[in-house]
């Protein structure tokens, strides 16, 4: 941890982004001027464009889209079907199932259940299919940004 002239705290942590956190914007300028950029390092925009065009990045994005798009569409269809059924066929939703529990209550509980199931499935999918590859991309990008090479 370092202190700048203005008394603001800055961090040497490579993952800390003062501007994104909303703190230390004046300190960020002091840190930028205090750290000279290596002359051989490519510009940050070029590094990120190179990573974005890489096959590994495209694979991570493809895996993300293959899960998220069908999951979001299925959930939205299920939600809209619930709302439309509740407003257009109230007799069906009021039909008793067991005691005071009716079809509408079960469908509403089904909405909560599918929300939790979809969240669980998303987290599991990310952990098994994308997280490791995304972390490797992140490390490669950081290495390229520091000017040390990398395998992106």
pLDDT tens digit sequence for 19-75:
555 555 555 455 555 555 555 556 777 888 888 888 888 898 999 999 999 999 999
Q: Which long-range contacts (CB under 8 A, 24 or more apart) does 92-98 make?
A: none
> How far are the Cα atoms of 36, 64, 107, 146 from residue 11, in angstroms, in the given order?
16, 32, 50, 16
pTM of the model: 0.60
Residues 6+ apart with CB under 8 A from 78: 111, 114
Please report, to the nearest 10 degrees, the dihedral formed by the alpha carbons of residues 147, 42, 40, 137 taken in order: 20
Confidence of residue 152 (pLDDT cuts 50, 70, 90): very low
Cβ atoms of 93 and 85 closer than 8 Å: yes
Residues 6+ apart with CB under 8 A from 59: 133
Tokens of 22: 């909303």
The DSSP 8-state label assigned to residue 34 in this structure reads H
């Amino acid at each position: 941890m370092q202190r700048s002239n203005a008394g603001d705290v800055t961090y040497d942590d490579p993952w800390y982004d003062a501007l994104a956190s909303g703190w230390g914007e004046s300190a960020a300028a002091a840190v930028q001027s205090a750290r000279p950029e290596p002359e051989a390092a490519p510009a940050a925009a070029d590094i990120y464009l190179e990573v974005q065009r890489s096959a590994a990045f495209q694979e991570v994005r493809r895996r993300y889209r293959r899960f998220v798009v069908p999951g979001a569409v299925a959930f939205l269809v299920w939600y809209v079907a619930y709302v439309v059924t509740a407003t257009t066929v109230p007799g069906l939703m009021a039909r008793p199932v067991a005691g005071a529990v009716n079809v509408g209550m079960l469908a509403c509980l089904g909405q909560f259940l599918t929300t939790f199931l979809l969240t669980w499935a998303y987290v599991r999918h990310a952990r098994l299919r994308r997280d490791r590859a995304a972390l490797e991309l992140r490390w490669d990008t950081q290495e390229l940004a520091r000017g040390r090479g990398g395998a992106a």
